Structure 1
Amino acid sequence: MARTVAKKSTGKKRAAGPFEDILKVARVLSSSTVPERVIETVLTHLCERLGKRARCALLEGSDLRLRFWAGEHSCPVGGLKINKNSIVWDVVKKGKPVNLTDARQADHFIHTLAAPINIKSIIPLSYLDPVTNQEKRLGALIVDSGNERVPVSREDFEYLQVIGELISAVAGRVELTRELLQSWRRQEEILMETAHYFRNSIAVIGGFSSRMAKLTTDKELVEKAVHLHEEVKVLEEHLARFERYMSIRSPGSGRRKELKFLEVD
């Protein structure tokens, strides 16, 4: 292990380097599982660090819409749908980051914003589904300097790609958590339905065995009916314990308790 030598402070605050920034952003991303909060914080950080505008477009069904932004924009961009023939859509579809340093590189694309900015960096956001092993597209991170049209440096472009990967990781984690919770809820519904039908079935058997024990005069048949009725009662007790464990409605309880899941903060 390398020895760390403590240096005397000069009183001046040293500017954070790109690696320290990445660690800072990683801590932000890992501290919350709310995509909105994470993206807003990261975009603000990018805006302050790079002195540029930053915005994020997310896939919503078949549309790609601007949902988050930081820095000065000449018009409202919240909810703005990205043009299908824009370079942003092209980057999202191809999954390859692009750093436009010459205005002519995007001349053949249609721009979404009223004031087209050709000089910008576009980072696709996606994650790998561990179940299907397929890449799922999320959207894109877009950074530019507005009307100043100052290109993103090579170093900052590399930095933005790492930030894009971090955003994709946390967004993918949230999406997988959501799918897992949906699966759990569906399993709960199936268990509730199964318990309901099972209770109805054993209730019919229990009622029949009880009536048979009272009406028949055959001693052997009475004993069998009583024994069957006792077995049904045991099954009902097991089912009642199962229902209490699942915290679902039990006959006669008068209320329903919801099964509590892990919540995403």
Structure 2
Amino acid sequence: MTTDSHDWFNTAVQALADPQGQRVWSIIVSFLGDMAQGEGAGISSAALTRVITPLGIKPEAIRVALHRLRKDGWTDSERRGRGSVHFLTPHGRAQSAEVTPRIYMRRTSAPQDWHMMIAGTPEGLELLDALADSHRTTMIRVNRQTLLAPGEAAAATPDLLVLNAEIATVPAWLKEELFPAALRKSCAALDAALLPLGAAPPLDPLRRACLRTLIVHRWRRIVLRHPNLSASFQPADWRGEACRAKVFALLDAMPLPSLLELEQAEALPLPEEAADLQA
């Protein structure tokens, strides 16, 4: 690697640092979901620290975050030699696998057919609540009593009025509900941060892991906060598709390192002033 590659890496880390700050436990989930999602895949405390600390996160914050993830059932750990190895639990793997297709989807593939479910009773409202909660990335909560779902209605649903629907127009108020101002601002900020970086130079495995974690984390926080919808549902100032193209251009230039490479890597020089992130 050249000095120019080091400079590009440092510039990219600074540009992609979220101005709103990040939860360390969430960054660890992004790393594990990207590079250690398979059953039995794990990373030592030392190697995880080498990946995460260049992002401005202190080792003590990593330890606190790992404790929280174990407590919440997302990760587990076991002693190996003088250290510990951390890995996703079956629950953590299942949660990661559920959202992986959305995170790594390279283009919007929204359905053309829809059906609408309308509740008129307390029992129907409870059913809508359950459906909306379990299908957050595919179903649209139009209002308290109405849910828009992809595909044709498969069968009659008790307590709900179910109609096959054709989307003729999408009003501005619904676009605003689906893509609120805070989400649009976050997406525009990531798009603007990615724009000046250009093509990634060749990077060593550890720097690739650092940047992949940061990029996937920022993108995950955007793409999982709205349903997978075509352009007709998107506000005019939504930068999602432009941002998606930049995200995958960089990820393609930084192939996944192996966990063994990360275990064998030497620690990178740390920034002079590490940012204090909440665990």
TM band (smaller chain)? under 0.3
Structure with larger Rg: 1
Higher relative contact order, chain-length normalized (CA < 8 Å, sep 6+) = 2
